Structure 1
Amino acid sequence: MAKAVKKQALGRGLSALLKDPENDIKSITDKNADKVVGSIVELDIASIEINPFQPRTNFNEDALQELATSIKELGVIQPITVRKDDFNKYQLISGERRLRASKMAGLKTIPSYIRIANDQDSLTMALVENIQRHDLDPIEIALSYQRLMDEIQLTQEQMSDRVGKKRSTIANYLRLLKLDPVIQTGIRDGFISMGHGRAIINIEDHDVQADIYHKIVSKNLSVRDTEALVKQYHDGQKPKAAVKAKAGSTFDTGKQQSALATYLGVKADVKVAANGKGKITIPFKSEADFTRIINLIKGSE
Protein backbone atom coordinates (compact mmCIF):
# COMPACT_ATOMS: atom_id res chain seq x y z
CA MET A 1 0.00 0.00 0.00
CA ALA A 2 2.91 2.33 0.89
CA LYS A 3 4.39 1.85 -2.58
CA ALA A 4 1.13 2.80 -4.23
CA VAL A 5 0.92 6.03 -2.21
CA LYS A 6 4.56 6.84 -3.03
CA LYS A 7 3.94 6.29 -6.75
CA GLN A 8 0.90 8.58 -6.72
CA ALA A 9 2.83 11.22 -4.79
CA LEU A 10 5.64 11.04 -7.34
CA GLY A 11 3.14 11.58 -10.12
CA ARG A 12 1.76 14.66 -8.40
CA GLY A 13 5.27 16.00 -7.82
CA LEU A 14 6.20 15.65 -11.48
CA SER A 15 2.93 17.25 -12.46
CA ALA A 16 3.82 20.28 -10.37
CA LEU A 17 7.27 20.35 -11.93
CA LEU A 18 5.74 20.47 -15.41
CA LYS A 19 3.54 23.40 -14.42
CA ASP A 20 6.55 25.46 -13.40
CA PRO A 21 7.37 27.88 -16.28
CA GLU A 22 11.04 27.75 -15.30
CA ASN A 23 11.08 24.01 -16.00
CA ASP A 24 9.36 24.02 -19.39
CA ILE A 25 10.70 20.84 -21.00
CA LYS A 26 10.76 20.93 -24.78
CA SER A 27 13.43 18.38 -25.65
CA ILE A 28 15.06 15.33 -24.14
CA THR A 29 18.19 17.39 -23.39
CA ASP A 30 16.38 19.98 -21.23
CA LYS A 31 16.85 20.11 -17.49
CA ASN A 32 14.69 17.58 -15.59
CA ALA A 33 13.63 15.93 -18.86
CA ASP A 34 15.07 12.65 -17.62
CA LYS A 35 12.77 12.82 -14.58
CA VAL A 36 9.62 13.29 -16.63
CA VAL A 37 9.99 11.55 -20.01
CA GLY A 38 8.90 7.93 -19.69
CA SER A 39 7.51 8.43 -16.17
CA ILE A 40 3.88 8.14 -15.10
CA VAL A 41 2.62 11.66 -14.44
CA GLU A 42 -0.80 12.83 -13.28
CA LEU A 43 -1.83 15.33 -15.95
CA ASP A 44 -4.83 17.64 -16.01
CA ILE A 45 -7.29 16.19 -18.51
CA ALA A 46 -8.05 19.73 -19.70
CA SER A 47 -4.42 20.10 -20.81
CA ILE A 48 -4.61 17.11 -23.20
CA GLU A 49 -5.88 17.50 -26.76
CA ILE A 50 -7.02 14.66 -28.99
CA ASN A 51 -4.45 13.34 -31.42
CA PRO A 52 -5.29 14.50 -34.97
CA PHE A 53 -3.53 11.37 -36.25
CA GLN A 54 -5.92 9.06 -34.38
CA PRO A 55 -7.09 6.39 -36.85
CA ARG A 56 -10.10 5.33 -34.77
CA THR A 57 -13.25 7.24 -35.66
CA ASN A 58 -15.96 5.00 -34.18
CA PHE A 59 -16.44 4.71 -30.43
CA ASN A 60 -19.16 2.51 -28.96
CA GLU A 61 -20.97 4.62 -26.39
CA ASP A 62 -22.14 1.62 -24.35
CA ALA A 63 -18.60 0.28 -24.13
CA LEU A 64 -17.32 3.73 -23.13
CA GLN A 65 -19.93 3.94 -20.38
CA GLU A 66 -18.88 0.53 -19.05
CA LEU A 67 -15.25 1.65 -19.02
CA ALA A 68 -16.23 4.90 -17.27
CA THR A 69 -18.01 2.90 -14.55
CA SER A 70 -14.92 0.73 -14.12
CA ILE A 71 -12.69 3.81 -13.89
CA LYS A 72 -14.94 5.31 -11.19
CA GLU A 73 -14.46 2.18 -9.09
CA LEU A 74 -10.86 1.19 -9.86
CA GLY A 75 -9.24 4.22 -11.46
CA VAL A 76 -7.28 4.21 -14.73
CA ILE A 77 -5.32 0.96 -14.65
CA GLN A 78 -3.22 1.60 -17.75
CA PRO A 79 -1.82 5.12 -18.28
CA ILE A 80 -2.38 6.91 -21.57
CA THR A 81 0.58 8.10 -23.68
CA VAL A 82 0.99 11.76 -24.62
CA ARG A 83 3.59 13.97 -26.22
CA LYS A 84 4.50 17.38 -24.85
CA ASP A 85 3.24 20.05 -27.23
CA ASP A 86 3.79 23.32 -25.39
CA PHE A 87 3.93 24.62 -21.86
CA ASN A 88 1.40 22.58 -19.89
CA LYS A 89 -0.14 21.38 -23.17
CA TYR A 90 -0.08 17.79 -24.38
CA GLN A 91 -1.27 15.82 -27.36
CA LEU A 92 -2.66 12.31 -27.03
CA ILE A 93 -0.69 9.56 -28.76
CA SER A 94 -2.66 6.54 -27.56
CA GLY A 95 -5.46 5.83 -25.10
CA GLU A 96 -8.36 7.88 -26.47
CA ARG A 97 -10.96 5.43 -25.09
CA ARG A 98 -9.43 5.77 -21.61
CA LEU A 99 -9.33 9.55 -21.94
CA ARG A 100 -12.95 9.78 -23.10
CA ALA A 101 -14.15 7.40 -20.39
CA SER A 102 -12.20 9.32 -17.72
CA LYS A 103 -13.99 12.51 -18.77
CA MET A 104 -17.32 10.67 -18.56
CA ALA A 105 -16.36 9.46 -15.08
CA GLY A 106 -15.72 13.03 -13.99
CA LEU A 107 -11.95 12.71 -13.47
CA LYS A 108 -9.88 15.90 -13.54
CA THR A 109 -6.50 14.21 -13.96
CA ILE A 110 -5.29 11.03 -15.65
CA PRO A 111 -2.05 9.03 -15.32
CA SER A 112 0.06 9.56 -18.43
CA TYR A 113 3.34 8.52 -19.98
CA ILE A 114 5.04 11.57 -21.47
CA ARG A 115 6.93 11.36 -24.73
CA ILE A 116 8.78 14.06 -26.64
CA ALA A 117 8.20 13.39 -30.32
CA ASN A 118 7.84 15.24 -33.59
CA ASP A 119 4.71 14.97 -35.70
CA GLN A 120 6.04 12.06 -37.74
CA ASP A 121 7.00 10.09 -34.65
CA SER A 122 3.64 10.91 -33.09
CA LEU A 123 1.80 9.70 -36.18
CA THR A 124 3.83 6.49 -36.30
CA MET A 125 3.34 5.75 -32.60
CA ALA A 126 -0.39 6.50 -32.73
CA LEU A 127 -1.07 4.35 -35.79
CA VAL A 128 1.12 1.42 -34.78
CA GLU A 129 -0.22 1.49 -31.21
CA ASN A 130 -3.81 1.41 -32.38
CA ILE A 131 -3.29 -1.24 -35.05
CA GLN A 132 -1.61 -3.54 -32.54
CA ARG A 133 -3.70 -2.99 -29.45
CA HIS A 134 -7.25 -1.97 -30.28
CA ASP A 135 -10.20 -3.45 -32.10
CA LEU A 136 -10.24 -1.11 -35.07
CA ASP A 137 -12.61 -2.12 -37.85
CA PRO A 138 -10.97 -3.40 -41.08
CA ILE A 139 -11.43 -0.10 -42.92
CA GLU A 140 -9.82 1.90 -40.10
CA ILE A 141 -6.88 -0.51 -40.15
CA ALA A 142 -6.62 -0.18 -43.94
CA LEU A 143 -6.67 3.62 -43.68
CA SER A 144 -3.98 3.47 -40.99
CA TYR A 145 -1.75 1.36 -43.22
CA GLN A 146 -2.35 3.69 -46.16
CA ARG A 147 -1.54 6.72 -44.03
CA LEU A 148 1.73 5.20 -42.85
CA MET A 149 2.67 4.53 -46.46
CA ASP A 150 1.68 8.00 -47.70
CA GLU A 151 2.90 10.25 -44.89
CA ILE A 152 5.96 8.37 -43.63
CA GLN A 153 6.89 6.87 -46.99
CA LEU A 154 6.91 3.27 -45.75
CA THR A 155 6.82 0.37 -48.16
CA GLN A 156 4.61 -2.63 -47.41
CA GLU A 157 7.74 -4.57 -46.42
CA GLN A 158 8.85 -1.83 -43.99
CA MET A 159 5.35 -1.57 -42.59
CA SER A 160 5.28 -5.34 -42.10
CA ASP A 161 8.37 -5.07 -39.89
CA ARG A 162 7.00 -2.03 -38.05
CA VAL A 163 3.62 -3.46 -37.08
CA GLY A 164 4.55 -7.15 -36.93
CA LYS A 165 2.11 -8.27 -39.62
CA LYS A 166 2.68 -10.33 -42.76
CA ARG A 167 2.99 -8.33 -45.97
CA SER A 168 0.11 -10.34 -47.47
CA THR A 169 -2.10 -9.36 -44.52
CA ILE A 170 -1.32 -5.69 -45.05
CA ALA A 171 -1.99 -6.02 -48.79
CA ASN A 172 -5.39 -7.62 -48.12
CA TYR A 173 -6.41 -4.70 -45.88
CA LEU A 174 -5.23 -2.10 -48.40
CA ARG A 175 -7.26 -3.74 -51.19
CA LEU A 176 -10.43 -3.00 -49.22
CA LEU A 177 -9.95 0.69 -50.00
CA LYS A 178 -10.74 -0.11 -53.66
CA LEU A 179 -14.29 -1.06 -52.70
CA ASP A 180 -17.20 1.25 -53.37
CA PRO A 181 -17.55 3.72 -50.43
CA VAL A 182 -21.01 2.33 -49.61
CA ILE A 183 -19.48 -1.13 -49.13
CA GLN A 184 -16.64 0.28 -47.03
CA THR A 185 -19.28 1.84 -44.78
CA GLY A 186 -21.06 -1.53 -44.63
CA ILE A 187 -17.87 -3.17 -43.37
CA ARG A 188 -17.31 -0.43 -40.78
CA ASP A 189 -20.89 -0.76 -39.53
CA GLY A 190 -20.69 -4.54 -39.37
CA PHE A 191 -23.27 -5.33 -42.05
CA ILE A 192 -20.72 -7.46 -43.89
CA SER A 193 -17.35 -8.92 -42.93
CA MET A 194 -13.89 -8.35 -44.31
CA GLY A 195 -14.23 -11.77 -45.98
CA HIS A 196 -17.26 -10.51 -47.92
CA GLY A 197 -15.29 -7.43 -48.94
CA ARG A 198 -12.32 -9.48 -50.13
CA ALA A 199 -14.65 -11.49 -52.37
CA ILE A 200 -16.39 -8.41 -53.82
CA ILE A 201 -13.11 -6.61 -54.55
CA ASN A 202 -12.47 -9.10 -57.37
CA ILE A 203 -15.08 -7.16 -59.36
CA GLU A 204 -13.91 -3.78 -60.70
CA ASP A 205 -17.33 -2.37 -61.65
CA HIS A 206 -18.62 -0.45 -58.60
CA ASP A 207 -22.24 -0.77 -59.74
CA VAL A 208 -21.90 -4.55 -59.80
CA GLN A 209 -20.12 -4.43 -56.42
CA ALA A 210 -23.04 -2.47 -54.96
CA ASP A 211 -25.58 -4.89 -56.43
CA ILE A 212 -23.83 -7.88 -54.85
CA TYR A 213 -23.48 -5.99 -51.55
CA HIS A 214 -27.24 -5.40 -51.39
CA LYS A 215 -27.88 -9.09 -52.12
CA ILE A 216 -25.54 -10.08 -49.27
CA VAL A 217 -27.30 -7.81 -46.79
CA SER A 218 -30.87 -8.56 -47.89
CA LYS A 219 -30.40 -12.33 -48.13
CA ASN A 220 -27.85 -12.67 -45.29
CA LEU A 221 -25.41 -14.44 -47.63
CA SER A 222 -22.27 -16.11 -46.31
CA VAL A 223 -18.77 -15.40 -47.60
CA ARG A 224 -18.92 -18.65 -49.60
CA ASP A 225 -22.24 -17.60 -51.14
CA THR A 226 -20.66 -14.26 -52.06
CA GLU A 227 -17.68 -15.96 -53.68
CA ALA A 228 -20.13 -18.05 -55.75
CA LEU A 229 -21.96 -14.88 -56.87
CA VAL A 230 -18.67 -13.30 -57.91
CA LYS A 231 -17.67 -16.42 -59.84
CA GLN A 232 -21.06 -16.49 -61.53
CA TYR A 233 -20.56 -12.87 -62.61
CA HIS A 234 -17.10 -13.56 -64.03
CA ASP A 235 -18.32 -16.67 -65.86
CA GLY A 236 -21.02 -14.57 -67.50
CA GLN A 237 -18.40 -12.09 -68.69
CA LYS A 238 -16.33 -14.70 -70.52
CA PRO A 239 -16.75 -14.72 -74.35
CA LYS A 240 -18.64 -17.74 -75.64
CA ALA A 241 -16.43 -20.33 -77.29
CA ALA A 242 -16.71 -20.52 -81.05
CA VAL A 243 -18.65 -23.50 -82.42
CA LYS A 244 -16.17 -26.11 -83.55
CA ALA A 245 -16.52 -27.22 -87.17
CA LYS A 246 -17.29 -30.83 -87.72
CA ALA A 247 -14.66 -32.83 -89.52
CA GLY A 248 -15.21 -32.72 -93.29
CA SER A 249 -17.76 -29.86 -93.11
CA THR A 250 -15.69 -27.51 -95.33
CA PHE A 251 -15.46 -28.08 -99.07
CA ASP A 252 -13.70 -26.70 -102.13
CA THR A 253 -15.82 -24.13 -104.03
CA GLY A 254 -13.22 -23.25 -106.61
CA LYS A 255 -14.64 -25.15 -109.59
CA GLN A 256 -18.27 -24.26 -108.88
CA GLN A 257 -17.37 -20.59 -108.32
CA SER A 258 -15.58 -20.49 -111.69
CA ALA A 259 -18.53 -22.15 -113.47
CA LEU A 260 -20.97 -19.70 -111.81
CA ALA A 261 -18.91 -16.71 -112.96
CA THR A 262 -18.87 -18.04 -116.52
CA TYR A 263 -22.64 -18.64 -116.52
CA LEU A 264 -23.59 -15.25 -114.99
CA GLY A 265 -20.94 -13.21 -116.74
CA VAL A 266 -19.76 -11.68 -113.45
CA LYS A 267 -17.37 -12.83 -110.74
CA ALA A 268 -19.56 -14.02 -107.84
CA ASP A 269 -18.03 -14.05 -104.34
CA VAL A 270 -18.50 -17.31 -102.43
CA LYS A 271 -17.76 -17.58 -98.69
CA VAL A 272 -18.03 -20.77 -96.65
CA ALA A 273 -17.95 -20.86 -92.82
CA ALA A 274 -16.29 -23.57 -90.75
CA ASN A 275 -19.65 -25.22 -90.10
CA GLY A 276 -20.34 -25.61 -93.85
CA LYS A 277 -22.77 -22.72 -94.17
CA GLY A 278 -22.05 -19.83 -96.51
CA LYS A 279 -23.30 -17.11 -98.85
CA ILE A 280 -22.95 -16.04 -102.48
CA THR A 281 -22.60 -12.35 -103.39
CA ILE A 282 -23.35 -11.43 -107.04
CA PRO A 283 -22.39 -7.90 -108.17
CA PHE A 284 -24.18 -6.00 -110.98
CA LYS A 285 -23.32 -2.81 -112.88
CA SER A 286 -26.78 -1.41 -113.66
CA GLU A 287 -30.49 -2.05 -113.54
CA ALA A 288 -30.24 -3.70 -116.93
CA ASP A 289 -27.38 -5.89 -115.74
CA PHE A 290 -29.40 -6.79 -112.62
CA THR A 291 -32.40 -7.79 -114.81
CA ARG A 292 -30.08 -9.86 -117.01
CA ILE A 293 -28.70 -11.79 -114.03
CA ILE A 294 -32.19 -12.40 -112.61
CA ASN A 295 -33.40 -13.76 -115.94
CA LEU A 296 -30.37 -16.10 -116.08
CA ILE A 297 -31.11 -17.40 -112.57
CA LYS A 298 -34.81 -17.89 -113.43
CA GLY A 299 -33.87 -19.63 -116.62
CA SER A 300 -31.78 -22.10 -114.65
CA GLU A 301 -34.66 -23.05 -112.38
Structure 2
Amino acid sequence: MADVNETEQSASKGPSAAEQYVPIERVAPNPEQPRKRFEQGDLDDLAASIKEKGVIQPLIVRARDGGNFEIVAGERRWRAAQLAQLHELPVIVRSFTDVEVLEVAIIENIQRADLNPIEEAAGYRQLMDKFGHTQEKMAEALGKSRSHIANLLRLLNLPGSVLDMVREGELSSGHARALITSSNPEKLARQIVEGGLSVRATEALVKKEQSAADDNIFGKPDKTARAAEKDADTKALEGDLSANLGMKVVLNHKPGQENGAMTLHYTSLEQLDELCRMLTGD
Protein backbone atom coordinates (compact mmCIF):
# COMPACT_ATOMS: atom_id res chain seq x y z
CA MET A 1 0.00 0.00 0.00
CA ALA A 2 1.38 3.44 -0.93
CA ASP A 3 2.95 5.38 1.92
CA VAL A 4 0.10 7.86 2.41
CA ASN A 5 1.11 8.67 5.99
CA GLU A 6 4.48 10.04 4.82
CA THR A 7 2.71 12.15 2.22
CA GLU A 8 0.25 13.56 4.76
CA GLN A 9 3.00 14.32 7.26
CA SER A 10 4.95 16.25 4.64
CA ALA A 11 1.87 18.17 3.55
CA SER A 12 0.77 19.03 7.09
CA LYS A 13 3.81 21.26 7.69
CA GLY A 14 2.25 24.12 5.72
CA PRO A 15 3.54 26.16 2.77
CA SER A 16 7.17 25.95 3.91
CA ALA A 17 7.10 22.22 3.21
CA ALA A 18 6.20 22.77 -0.44
CA GLU A 19 8.95 22.12 -2.93
CA GLN A 20 7.70 24.92 -5.14
CA TYR A 21 4.85 27.21 -6.09
CA VAL A 22 3.42 26.63 -9.57
CA PRO A 23 0.90 28.54 -11.70
CA ILE A 24 -2.57 27.19 -11.06
CA GLU A 25 -3.20 26.75 -14.80
CA ARG A 26 -0.33 24.23 -14.95
CA VAL A 27 -2.07 21.96 -12.44
CA ALA A 28 -4.73 19.50 -13.63
CA PRO A 29 -6.81 16.89 -11.80
CA ASN A 30 -6.25 13.17 -12.12
CA PRO A 31 -8.75 11.86 -14.73
CA GLU A 32 -8.97 8.59 -12.78
CA GLN A 33 -9.90 10.37 -9.53
CA PRO A 34 -12.52 8.13 -7.90
CA ARG A 35 -14.28 11.02 -6.15
CA LYS A 36 -16.71 12.57 -8.63
CA ARG A 37 -18.94 14.69 -6.36
CA PHE A 38 -17.81 17.93 -4.74
CA GLU A 39 -20.41 19.85 -2.73
CA GLN A 40 -20.59 23.43 -3.96
CA GLY A 41 -21.30 24.79 -0.48
CA ASP A 42 -18.17 23.14 0.91
CA LEU A 43 -16.07 24.47 -1.97
CA ASP A 44 -17.42 28.00 -1.39
CA ASP A 45 -16.52 27.80 2.31
CA LEU A 46 -13.03 26.56 1.52
CA ALA A 47 -12.59 29.25 -1.14
CA ALA A 48 -13.48 31.93 1.41
CA SER A 49 -10.88 30.50 3.79
CA ILE A 50 -8.26 30.41 1.02
CA LYS A 51 -8.92 34.05 0.14
CA GLU A 52 -8.17 34.99 3.72
CA LYS A 53 -5.31 32.60 4.61
CA GLY A 54 -4.14 31.04 1.35
CA VAL A 55 -3.68 27.31 0.70
CA ILE A 56 -2.19 26.11 4.00
CA GLN A 57 -1.72 22.46 3.01
CA PRO A 58 0.24 21.94 -0.25
CA LEU A 59 -1.15 19.74 -2.96
CA ILE A 60 0.64 16.48 -3.74
CA VAL A 61 1.34 16.32 -7.48
CA ARG A 62 3.44 14.47 -10.01
CA ALA A 63 5.22 16.02 -12.97
CA ARG A 64 3.76 15.65 -16.45
CA ASP A 65 4.99 16.75 -19.88
CA GLY A 66 5.55 20.41 -20.73
CA GLY A 67 6.12 21.61 -17.18
CA ASN A 68 2.61 20.63 -16.12
CA PHE A 69 1.50 18.72 -13.02
CA GLU A 70 -1.20 16.19 -12.19
CA ILE A 71 -2.90 16.19 -8.80
CA VAL A 72 -2.31 13.11 -6.67
CA ALA A 73 -3.99 14.49 -3.55
CA GLY A 74 -5.76 17.83 -3.11
CA GLU A 75 -8.27 18.26 -5.94
CA ARG A 76 -10.77 19.87 -3.56
CA ARG A 77 -8.18 22.53 -2.63
CA TRP A 78 -7.40 23.07 -6.32
CA ARG A 79 -11.08 23.63 -7.15
CA ALA A 80 -11.54 26.01 -4.22
CA ALA A 81 -8.35 27.90 -5.16
CA GLN A 82 -9.81 28.49 -8.62
CA LEU A 83 -12.96 29.95 -7.03
CA ALA A 84 -10.72 32.15 -4.87
CA GLN A 85 -8.93 33.28 -8.08
CA LEU A 86 -5.46 32.27 -6.89
CA HIS A 87 -2.68 32.50 -9.44
CA GLU A 88 -0.32 29.90 -7.95
CA LEU A 89 -0.42 26.93 -5.62
CA PRO A 90 2.04 25.37 -3.17
CA VAL A 91 2.83 21.82 -4.25
CA ILE A 92 4.95 18.87 -3.21
CA VAL A 93 6.16 16.91 -6.22
CA ARG A 94 6.34 13.15 -5.84
CA SER A 95 7.20 10.33 -8.25
CA PHE A 96 4.20 8.02 -8.40
CA THR A 97 3.24 5.37 -10.92
CA ASP A 98 -0.27 5.33 -12.38
CA VAL A 99 -1.18 2.52 -9.98
CA GLU A 100 0.18 4.40 -6.96
CA VAL A 101 -1.68 7.58 -7.94
CA LEU A 102 -4.98 5.73 -8.03
CA GLU A 103 -4.24 3.96 -4.76
CA VAL A 104 -3.35 7.21 -2.97
CA ALA A 105 -6.43 8.95 -4.39
CA ILE A 106 -8.70 6.17 -3.14
CA ILE A 107 -7.12 6.12 0.30
CA GLU A 108 -7.26 9.91 0.61
CA ASN A 109 -10.97 9.82 -0.22
CA ILE A 110 -11.67 7.05 2.27
CA GLN A 111 -10.01 9.08 5.01
CA ARG A 112 -12.22 12.10 4.36
CA ALA A 113 -14.77 12.68 7.13
CA ASP A 114 -17.52 13.88 4.75
CA LEU A 115 -17.42 10.84 2.47
CA ASN A 116 -20.83 9.19 2.22
CA PRO A 117 -20.96 5.46 3.07
CA ILE A 118 -21.43 4.36 -0.55
CA GLU A 119 -18.37 6.30 -1.72
CA GLU A 120 -16.40 4.85 1.18
CA ALA A 121 -17.55 1.31 0.35
CA ALA A 122 -16.71 1.84 -3.33
CA GLY A 123 -13.21 2.93 -2.28
CA TYR A 124 -12.71 -0.28 -0.30
CA ARG A 125 -13.97 -2.33 -3.24
CA GLN A 126 -11.52 -0.59 -5.60
CA LEU A 127 -8.62 -1.32 -3.26
CA MET A 128 -9.63 -4.99 -3.18
CA ASP A 129 -10.31 -5.38 -6.90
CA LYS A 130 -7.41 -3.32 -8.28
CA PHE A 131 -4.70 -3.99 -5.70
CA GLY A 132 -5.73 -7.26 -4.05
CA HIS A 133 -5.95 -5.74 -0.56
CA THR A 134 -7.69 -7.89 2.04
CA GLN A 135 -10.14 -6.50 4.56
CA GLU A 136 -7.59 -7.12 7.30
CA LYS A 137 -4.88 -5.19 5.44
CA MET A 138 -7.18 -2.23 4.81
CA ALA A 139 -8.37 -2.20 8.41
CA GLU A 140 -4.79 -2.07 9.69
CA ALA A 141 -3.61 0.58 7.21
CA LEU A 142 -6.62 2.87 7.56
CA GLY A 143 -7.25 2.50 11.28
CA LYS A 144 -10.72 1.02 10.72
CA SER A 145 -12.21 -2.12 12.23
CA ARG A 146 -12.63 -5.10 9.93
CA SER A 147 -16.34 -5.27 10.78
CA HIS A 148 -16.74 -1.60 9.73
CA ILE A 149 -15.21 -2.35 6.34
CA ALA A 150 -17.18 -5.59 5.91
CA ASN A 151 -20.48 -3.90 6.81
CA LEU A 152 -19.91 -1.10 4.31
CA LEU A 153 -18.92 -3.51 1.54
CA ARG A 154 -22.26 -5.30 2.00
CA LEU A 155 -24.05 -2.08 1.10
CA LEU A 156 -22.79 -2.45 -2.48
CA ASN A 157 -25.06 -5.51 -2.86
CA LEU A 158 -28.12 -3.26 -2.64
CA PRO A 159 -29.90 -2.17 -5.86
CA GLY A 160 -28.59 0.95 -7.58
CA SER A 161 -31.74 2.96 -6.79
CA VAL A 162 -31.26 2.32 -3.05
CA LEU A 163 -27.57 3.25 -3.26
CA ASP A 164 -28.58 6.53 -4.93
CA MET A 165 -30.90 7.28 -1.99
CA VAL A 166 -27.96 6.84 0.36
CA ARG A 167 -25.71 9.03 -1.81
CA GLU A 168 -28.35 11.76 -1.82
CA GLY A 169 -28.80 11.56 1.95
CA GLU A 170 -32.39 10.29 1.76
CA LEU A 171 -31.33 7.11 3.57
CA SER A 172 -28.65 6.77 6.23
CA SER A 173 -26.07 3.99 6.29
CA GLY A 174 -28.06 2.51 9.20
CA HIS A 175 -31.18 2.31 7.03
CA ALA A 176 -29.16 0.75 4.21
CA ARG A 177 -27.59 -1.88 6.49
CA ALA A 178 -31.04 -2.89 7.71
CA LEU A 179 -32.17 -3.36 4.10
CA ILE A 180 -29.35 -5.73 3.16
CA THR A 181 -31.31 -8.81 4.24
CA SER A 182 -34.60 -7.63 2.71
CA SER A 183 -36.04 -9.53 -0.24
CA ASN A 184 -37.39 -6.30 -1.72
CA PRO A 185 -35.10 -3.46 -0.58
CA GLU A 186 -36.34 -1.01 -3.25
CA LYS A 187 -39.95 -1.25 -2.08
CA LEU A 188 -39.01 -0.90 1.57
CA ALA A 189 -36.64 1.98 0.81
CA ARG A 190 -39.50 3.93 -0.76
CA GLN A 191 -41.66 3.24 2.30
CA ILE A 192 -38.86 4.46 4.59
CA VAL A 193 -38.38 7.71 2.69
CA GLU A 194 -42.11 8.40 2.30
CA GLY A 195 -42.84 7.60 5.94
CA GLY A 196 -39.71 9.17 7.40
CA LEU A 197 -39.02 5.94 9.29
CA SER A 198 -36.21 5.63 11.82
CA VAL A 199 -33.51 2.97 11.59
CA ARG A 200 -35.18 1.02 14.40
CA ALA A 201 -38.52 1.13 12.58
CA THR A 202 -36.76 0.00 9.40
CA GLU A 203 -35.24 -3.00 11.19
CA ALA A 204 -38.70 -3.94 12.48
CA LEU A 205 -40.14 -3.61 8.97
CA VAL A 206 -37.49 -5.91 7.51
CA LYS A 207 -38.01 -8.42 10.33
CA LYS A 208 -41.76 -8.41 9.68
CA GLU A 209 -41.14 -9.01 5.97
CA GLN A 210 -38.84 -11.94 6.70
CA SER A 211 -41.29 -13.45 9.20
CA ALA A 212 -44.09 -13.28 6.64
CA ALA A 213 -41.86 -14.92 4.02
CA ASP A 214 -40.96 -17.76 6.39
CA ASP A 215 -44.64 -18.37 7.17
CA ASN A 216 -45.47 -18.52 3.45
CA ILE A 217 -42.70 -21.04 2.75
CA PHE A 218 -42.93 -23.33 5.75
CA GLY A 219 -46.41 -22.64 7.07
CA LYS A 220 -46.94 -21.10 10.48
CA PRO A 221 -45.77 -23.75 12.97
CA ASP A 222 -47.74 -24.70 16.01
CA LYS A 223 -45.48 -23.81 18.94
CA THR A 224 -46.93 -26.42 21.28
CA ALA A 225 -46.61 -29.24 18.78
CA ARG A 226 -43.10 -28.15 17.82
CA ALA A 227 -41.97 -28.10 21.44
CA ALA A 228 -43.39 -31.57 22.03
CA GLU A 229 -41.63 -32.99 18.96
CA LYS A 230 -38.18 -31.72 19.98
CA ASP A 231 -36.40 -34.50 21.87
CA ALA A 232 -33.68 -34.21 24.50
CA ASP A 233 -30.87 -34.99 22.05
CA THR A 234 -31.98 -32.19 19.70
CA LYS A 235 -32.18 -29.72 22.57
CA ALA A 236 -28.73 -30.73 23.76
CA LEU A 237 -27.32 -30.27 20.26
CA GLU A 238 -28.94 -26.83 20.07
CA GLY A 239 -27.24 -25.90 23.33
CA ASP A 240 -23.83 -27.14 22.18
CA LEU A 241 -24.03 -25.31 18.84
CA SER A 242 -25.24 -22.11 20.48
CA ALA A 243 -22.36 -22.20 22.95
CA ASN A 244 -19.76 -22.87 20.25
CA LEU A 245 -21.03 -20.21 17.83
CA GLY A 246 -21.87 -17.60 20.42
CA MET A 247 -25.36 -17.10 18.97
CA LYS A 248 -28.73 -18.80 19.31
CA VAL A 249 -29.20 -21.95 17.20
CA VAL A 250 -32.61 -23.54 16.63
CA LEU A 251 -32.98 -27.01 15.11
CA ASN A 252 -36.28 -28.13 13.62
CA HIS A 253 -35.95 -31.86 13.02
CA LYS A 254 -38.87 -34.28 13.08
CA PRO A 255 -38.12 -37.68 14.65
CA GLY A 256 -37.77 -40.45 12.11
CA GLN A 257 -37.00 -38.09 9.21
CA GLU A 258 -33.68 -37.19 7.58
CA ASN A 259 -34.38 -33.59 6.69
CA GLY A 260 -34.85 -30.48 8.83
CA ALA A 261 -33.78 -26.89 9.24
CA MET A 262 -31.18 -25.10 11.32
CA THR A 263 -31.74 -21.42 12.10
CA LEU A 264 -29.01 -19.10 13.33
CA HIS A 265 -30.05 -15.92 15.14
CA TYR A 266 -27.56 -13.03 15.16
CA THR A 267 -28.09 -9.93 17.27
CA SER A 268 -25.75 -7.55 15.45
CA LEU A 269 -24.07 -7.07 12.09
CA GLU A 270 -20.76 -7.84 13.78
CA GLN A 271 -22.10 -11.31 14.64
CA LEU A 272 -23.28 -11.74 11.06
CA ASP A 273 -19.83 -10.73 9.84
CA GLU A 274 -18.20 -13.29 12.12
CA LEU A 275 -20.60 -15.99 10.94
CA CYS A 276 -19.85 -15.18 7.28
CA ARG A 277 -16.14 -15.33 8.06
CA MET A 278 -16.50 -18.80 9.60
CA LEU A 279 -18.62 -20.11 6.73
CA THR A 280 -16.41 -18.74 3.95
CA GLY A 281 -13.07 -19.38 5.67
CA ASP A 282 -12.06 -15.76 4.98
Q: TM-score, normalised by structure 1?
A: 0.65
CA deviations 1:143-191 (Å, max 9, x no partner) are: 1111111111111112222222111111111111111111101111100
Q: From 138, 141, 148, give the equivalent of 1:159.
A: 138
Do the aligned residues in 2 keep the contact of 1:40 with 1:79 (CA within 8 Å)? Answer: no
SS at match of 1:135: coil
Q: Does 1:123 align with 2:99?
A: no
Identity %: 42
- Shift in Å, 1:85: 2.8
Q: From 200, 218, 235, give the equivalent of 2:194.
A: 218
Q: Does 1:234 align with 2:213?
A: no
SS at match of 1:91: strand
Q: What amino acid does structure 2 have at the position aligned with 1:84?
A: A
Q: From 24, 27, 31, give the equivalent of 1:52.
A: 31
Q: Does 1:96 align with 2:75?
A: yes
Distance 2:146 2:206 in 1: 25
Distance 2:125 2:205 in 1: 29
Displaced runs of 4 or more, over 6 A:
none
Q: 1:193 to 1:242 in 2, by over 3 A?
A: closer
SS at match of 2:56: coil
Distance 1:181 1:72 in 2: 39
- Shift in Å, 1:134: 4.1
Q: TM-score, normalised by structure 2?
A: 0.69
Q: Does 1:209 align with 2:188?
A: no
Distance 1:191 1:128 in 2: 26
Distance 1:51 1:201 in 2: 34
- Could you say which residue in structure 2 is the equivalent of 1:178? 157
Distance 2:113 2:86 in 1: 23
Distance 1:165 1:87 in 2: 40
Instruction: Please list every run of 5 or more consecutive structure 1 residues that lacks an aligned counterpart in the other structure.
Output: 1-6, 12-37, 248-301
Q: What amino acid does structure 2 have at the position aligned with 1:211?
A: K
Q: What amino acid does structure 1 have at the position aligned with 2:48?
A: T
- Aligned pairs (5 A) from 1:4-83: 39-83=18-62
Q: 1:134 to 1:47 in 2, by over 3 A?
A: farther
- Shift in Å, 1:242: 5.2
- Shift in Å, 1:105: 1.0
Q: What amino acid does structure 2 have at the position aligned with 1:140?
A: E
Q: What amino acid does structure 2 have at the position aligned with 1:227?
A: E
Distance 1:194 1:242 in 2: 35
